[in-house]
Amino acid sequence: MVVKLGVPSKGRLMDKTFEWFAERGVTLSRAGTEREYSGAVEGIAGVELVLLSASEIPRELAAGRIHLGVTGSDLVRDKLAAWDSKVSELASMGFGHADLIIAVPKCWVDVDTLDDLDAAASAFRARHGFRLRIATKYHHLVREFLKANGVADYQLVDSQGATEGTVKNLTAEAIADITSTGETLRANHLKILNCDPVHRSQATLFKSRMAHWTDETRATLSELTETMGLGD
């Protein structure tokens, strides 16, 4: 039985993941064309490379269909209920940094903090008869964050496209989204609230607690973590 390692199938995340493993003595490579979702692993025996989208990897880890996976820490925490009972973190990888933040229109001059947002949400509902809408792809993380900070009278609306454009398009009054530079937010006349991010995300190597771990695959994992200088 082999250890199945899921990594992002394209783009900068795939390239940086390949570089990160190569720096630690394990070479990952894609097999054939970009349309093929398999690859090769050199430097360690008993590991099979599986190429998936970053958003699929949390699901595959939780289902136990892959043993290890590289994806954003934000995706695991948002998509998996009780995530730490299904996966464990083996290593933070030091790239793919982005903050999950809450942003409001720049013209809201009196809204700079979460307390201000709470007050604005109450006033909005009293004025309009429905709750202030926050567009996001990260419902679980945002809901838990706002609850912990006492913000009420809002509703989360799903955004699967360009979240920053929802305010301009009048489908939301505020947003919660991932950002690394803030440039897109500024271009859409949005400002980040003056508070800690909902989550500071980065690419992370996760181990599935749900996969079938045999003596053979545990031995392979030990060899892999030793080769790469990681704590088991």
**Cα–Cα distance measured from residue 105 to residue 120, given in angstroms and rounded to the nearest whole number:** 12
- 117 is written with which tokens? 């947002």
pLDDT of residue 161: 76
Q: What angle do CA 156, 78, 47 make, to 5 degrees?
A: 155
Segment 117-165, tens digit of pLDDT = 999 999 999 999 999 999 999 999 999 999 999 999 999 999 877 898 8
pLDDT of residue 180: 84
List the CATH code of the domain at 98-200.
Answer: 3.40.190.10
Find tokens 């912990």 and name the residue.
Answer: 148
pLDDT of residue 36: 54
* Length of the chain measured in residues: 232
CATH superfamily of 3-96+202-228: Periplasmic binding protein-like II (3.40.190.10)
For residue 182, pLDDT beyond 80: yes
% the chain with pLDDT above 90: 86
Q: How far is CA 209 from CA 79, 88, 165, 218, 231, in A?
A: 16, 7, 38, 12, 16
SS (H, E, C) 97-153: CEEEEEEEECCCCCCCCHHHHHHHHHHHHHHHCCCEEEEECCHHHHHHHHHHCCCCC
Residue 87's region, left for phi above 0, alpha for psi from -120 to 50, else beta, is beta
Segment 76-101, tens digit of pLDDT = 999 999 999 999 999 999 999 999 99
Name the pairing type of β-strands 132-136 and 174-179. parallel
- 170 is written with which tokens? 């009048």
Q: How confident is residue 232, by pLDDT bands cut at 50, 70 and 90?
A: low
Segment 11-67, tens digit of pLDDT = 899 999 999 999 999 999 987 655 556 688 999 999 999 999 999 999 999 999 999
Within the chain, all domains assigned CATH 3.40.190.10 are found at 3-96+202-228, 98-200
Residues 6+ apart with CB under 8 A from 127: none
